[in-house]
């Protein structure tokens, strides 16, 4: 049913931003340098703002009386529809940088396509978000290259992170029925159409970063359909604790 | 209470006195946050509708600004205030007034170095550019264009940290958005 698919699609966009923002926030006060601490938390703040816009809209379309807070703090992990990529643990800083880079390239491409959505509100949210994401991507590319084409230690860690996270990148381009339906209606974009552009940019940046693109073709999937690993449960336990323990609490 | 246009102009004047909570040297009107002021004569009484736009998506000042507007209008006897948030067209630093830019500079924050004029495109050949916004930033203290970015992020989402290579002072830079 179109309305359900639309709310699911909006939730996916919101969940990606929300879960990634939560991950980045875990670095708060623990960044490898003060500058990095500020950069990650600023990025997280942008993503939280975007998550609010997407989830508010998702709740309205869903029509079950759930607002942004209900969706963020009172859903269980099997109801979350984020990509598996964004729930992966921070690991070392190389892992965080690689995860962010893979996501930012995709995020910018998706938002660009959504600025042309037949749904005005989707186009409006995307037009606002893309300005911030362009900044995130710029930073990601810069850091990816600096650490990749850095010291022997940084390059080793970057390559290890790339090899580890590569299998989570495929999910970004695997269209399911929801995306096909919405794509046909001009409301969303078929993510498989973004793959070539993503690969082209990734290739360029990898070359400059002197890192090797993995050859593996097998990809993890299921995040968009609510099938997550154990990481998400732990992340939500921390993120949702306050609202679960004191339902309806406000500042 | 005067005709509609007069009433709106008066409200604009009041809003020009509402400071941005993070950068009190500039007002929310200077920053282009206030988009419209409309009066609606409704059966229950006149309603003043103020349309605002959020700056950065996650900017925590947005809610404070909303409350400040309501307070400012209520203090001046406007009983019924309606706030409307509008996200499109997306807020841009191009909406900052020249007065706002001047006040920022005086306060010690370098204003945006260029116009945004549409979306930023990622050009990979510009990776190694040393400036934050691909345009020289002038030091708000000594005016020198011989400055360098220290960090692309600063105390708030809208600012980056720079330092002057002539007078050697650090300063905040309001990023082009």
pLDDT at B4 over 80: no
Residue B145 φ/ψ, nearest 5 degrees: -90, 0
Q: Is the pLDDT of residue A113 over 90?
A: yes
C-beta atoms of B124 and A145 within 8 A: no
Task: Look at B154 and A142 and tell me if their CB atoms are within 8 Å.
Answer: no
Interface contact flag, A142 B153, Cβ < 8 Å: no
Position B159 pLDDT exceeds 60? yes
pLDDT band at B152 (very low <50, low <70, confident <90, very high): confident
Average the pLDDT over B107-129 and give the result: 73
Residues of chain B with C-beta less than 8 angstroms from the C-beta of A35: 150-151, 153
Tokens of A78: 């099997």
pLDDT tens, A40-63? 999 999 999 999 999 999 999 999
Rounded mean pLDDT, A141-157: 97
Is-contact B65 B79, C-beta < 8 A?
no
Do A124 and B87 make contact, defined as CB atoms within 8 angstroms? Answer: yes
pLDDT of residue A1: 59
Q: How confident is the model at residue B123 (pLDDT cuts 50, 70, 90)?
A: low
Mutation target vs B (from A135, A137, A149, A200; most B CBs, 10 A cutoff): A135
pLDDT tens for each residue of B9-60: 999 999 999 999 999 999 999 999 999 999 999 999 999 999 999 999 999 8
Q: What is the mean pLDDT of residues B87-94?
A: 95
User: Does A128 have pLDDT greater than 80?
Assistant: yes
Average pLDDT, chain B: 90
User: Are A128 and B177 in contact (CB < 8 Å)?
Assistant: no
Mean pLDDT of B109-115: 94
Confidence of residue A98 (pLDDT cuts 50, 70, 90): very high
Look at the block and give the residue holding tokens 């190694």: B128
Question: What pLDDT is attached to residue B131?
Answer: 63
Contact assignment for A42 to B153 by CB distance below 8 Å: yes
- The pLDDT-based confidence of B72 (bands split at 50, 70, 90) is very high
Q: What is the mean pLDDT of residues A54-83?
A: 97
**Spatial distance between the Cα atoms of A85 and A19, rounded to a whole number of angstroms:** 10
User: For testing the chain B interface, which of A14, A31, A33, A45 should be mutated: the one with the most B CBs within 10 Å?
Assistant: A45
* CA separation, residue B56 to residues A124, A125, A139, B16 (Å): 14, 12, 17, 21
Check B87 against A53: CB less than 8 A apart: yes
pLDDT tens-digit readout, A177-213: 999 999 999 999 999 999 999 999 999 999 999 999 9
Chain B neighbours among A 77-136 (CB < 8 Å)?
108, 120, 123-125, 127-132, 134-135
- Which of A3-17, B90-104, B133-147 is the least confident region? B133-147
* CATH 1.20.1260.10 applies to domain A5-212+221-245: yes
pLDDT confidence band for B5 (50 / 70 / 90):
confident
Of B63 and B117, the one with more pLDDT: B63
| pLDDT band, very low/low/confident/very high, at B151 (cuts 50, 70, 90) | confident
Q: How far is B3 from chain A (nearest CA, A)?
A: 34
Q: What torsion, rounded to 10 degrees, do the Cα atoms A202, A206, A211, A214 define?
A: 20
Going A160 to A89 to A34 to A104, the CA torsion angle's sign is positive
CA distances from A57 to A60, A73, A119, A127 (A): 5, 16, 12, 15
As for the ipTM of the complex, it is 0.90
Structure tokens at B98: 């020249």
Would you kindly state where each structural domain of chain A is located, as residue ranges? 5-212+221-245
Interchain contact, A124 vs B90, CB within 8 Å: yes
Q: How sure is the predictor about B2, in pLDDT bands with cuts at 50, 70 and 90? A: low
What is the mean predicted confidence (pLDDT) over B112-124?
72
Residues of B at the A interface, defined by Cβ within 8 angstroms: 54, 56-60, 87-92, 116, 119-122, 124, 127, 150-154, 157, 175, 177
Can you give the pLDDT at residue B156? 86
pTM of the model: 0.94
User: Residue B130 — pLDDT band, cuts 50, 70, 90?
Assistant: low
Instruction: Work out how many CB contacts closer than 8 A connect A with B.
Output: 83
pLDDT band at B129 (very low <50, low <70, confident <90, very high): low
Within 8 A of B89 by CB-CB distance, chain A residues are: 127
Name the token pair of A98. 């690689």
Does B127 sit within 8 Å of A131, measured CB to CB?
Answer: no
């Amino acid at each position: 049913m179109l309305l359900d698919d639309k709310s699911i699609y909006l939730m996916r966009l919101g969940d990606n931003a929300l879960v990634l923002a939560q991950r980045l926030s875990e670095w708060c006060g623990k960044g490898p340098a003060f500058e990095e601490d500020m950069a990650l938390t600023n990025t997280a703040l942008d993503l939280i703002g975007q998550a609010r816009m997407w989830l508010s809209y998702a709740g309205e379309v869903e029509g079950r009386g759930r607002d942004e807070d209900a969706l963020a703090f009172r859903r269980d992990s099997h109801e979350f529809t984020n990509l598996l990529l964004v729930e992966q643990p921070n690991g070392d800083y190389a892992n965080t940088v690689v995860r962010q880079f893979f996501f930012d390239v995709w995020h910018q491409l998706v938002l660009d396509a959504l600025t042309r959505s037949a749904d005005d509100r989707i186009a409006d949210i995307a037009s606002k978000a893309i300005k911030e994401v362009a900044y995130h991507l710029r930073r990601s590319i810069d850091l990816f290259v600096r650490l990749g084409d850095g010291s022997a230690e940084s390059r080793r860690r970057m390559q290890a992170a790339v090899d580890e996270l590569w299998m989570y990148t495929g999910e970004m381009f695997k269209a399911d029925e929801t995306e096909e339906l919405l794509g046909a209606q001009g409301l969303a974009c078929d993510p498989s159409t973004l793959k070539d552009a993503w690969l082209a940019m990734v290739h360029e940046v990898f070359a400059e970063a002197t890192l090797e693109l993995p050859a593996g073709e097998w990809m993890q999937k299921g995040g968009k359909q609510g099938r997550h690993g154990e990481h998400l449960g732990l992340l939500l336990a921390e993120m949702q604790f306050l609202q679960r323990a004191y339902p309806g609490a406000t500042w | 209470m005067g005709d509609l246009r007069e009433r709106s102009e008066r409200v604009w004047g009041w809003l020009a006195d509402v400071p941005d909570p993070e950068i009190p040297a500039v007002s929310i009107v200077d920053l282009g946050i206030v988009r419209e002021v409309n009066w609606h004569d409704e059966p229950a009484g006149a309603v003043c509708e103020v349309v605002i736009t959020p700056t950065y998506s996650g900017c925590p000042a947005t809610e404070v600004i909303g409350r400040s507007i309501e307070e400012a209008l209520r203090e001046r006897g406007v009983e019924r205030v309606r706030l409307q948030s509008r996200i499109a067209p997306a807020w841009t630093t191009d909406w900052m007034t020249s007065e706002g830019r001047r006040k920022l500079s005086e306060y010690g924050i370098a204003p945006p170095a260029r116009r945004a004029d549409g979306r930023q495109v990622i050009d990979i050949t510009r990776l190694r550019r040393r400036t934050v916004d691909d345009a020289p930033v002038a030091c708000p203290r000594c005016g020198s264009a011989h400055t360098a970015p220290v960090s692309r992020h600063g105390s708030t989402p809208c600012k980056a940290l720079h330092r002057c290579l002539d007078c050697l002072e650090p300063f905040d830079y309001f990023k082009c958005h």
